[in-house]
Amino acid sequence: MRARYKIGMLAMVLGAMFAGSCSNIAEDERLIYVEPAEVNRTVLIEDFTGQKCVNCPNATNAIHDIQEAYGEETVIAVAIHCGPFGLASGLMTDLGQTYWNHWFSDTQGQPVAKINRGAANDEYSQWASVVSNELKKTTDVSLDLSTSYDDTKREVSIDISALGKVGVKEKLQIWVIEDGIVAAQKQPDGSTNKQYVHNHVLREAINGDWGEDITFTETPLPLHRTFVLNEKYVAENCAIVAFTYSDNGVSQAIIKKIKK
């Protein structure tokens, strides 16, 4: 992620330092909370795609170019297999279909993206411009994410620290995505590539289809979650994507590999 600042935490650390050198400061005056400063945000691209979609590989290439320009931790892509061109016996999931049904209908073509949960955009040639504009914005939310993996149990531990303006309520969503999945994909010329490599594929949600409610406090919110990784997934190719969002869109997102 381009920038993650824990301004509130820094203020309290400095307060403690000064308290140690100025013993005449009253106890209740030593720690001063400072609202988090606005920081550079990351961008989340939710790519609603399908294995039977002839134009979806072009959209994938467009996302690849965007990530090449800004970095995969700055522009976080998630391929959500769903909709009329999803393959039920392939990478399509009930979770992906839930999102599709919420935002779209079967009259909506694919590929289509929601960038930071803004308006739907089915012109992948425009996605780079939308991402560029989103990157120019700031956010009050800072996220830190760490993971650990137990090979024997296939258990993943997730620790998230979230800081934002005190009292603001948002949703925190945690997803598992996977790279390097070899599966069939329709190509722009109408052929089918059975050795196509699918990346950043949405596999499942860790904390519910729509995440969980959080309310920011003066100190970073500590959130700890564990789950057992599905045996079908390759641990080395999996990552955790976490993001906060509201009706105004995605505030901040972060990604971390499950297994280093």
Give the single-character DSSP code of 5: -
Band (pLDDT 50/70/90 cuts) for residue 7 is very low
The pLDDT tens digits of the residues spanning 167-179 come to 999 999 999 999 9
Question: Cβ(77)–Cβ(89) under 8 Å?
Answer: no
Phi, psi of 90 (to 5 degrees): -115, -120
Task: Report the percentage of the chain scoring pLDDT > 90.
Answer: 82
CATH number of the domain located at residue range(s) 39-257 in this protein: 2.60.40.10
The DSSP string of 88-109 is TTTT--HHHHHHHHHH--TTS-
Question: How is residue 102 written in tokens?
Answer: 């919420």
pTM for the model: 0.85
Give 19-78 pLDDT, tens digit per residue. Answer: 333 334 344 443 444 454 455 789 999 999 999 999 999 999 999 999 999 999 999 999
Cβ distance 139 to 251 under 8 Å? yes
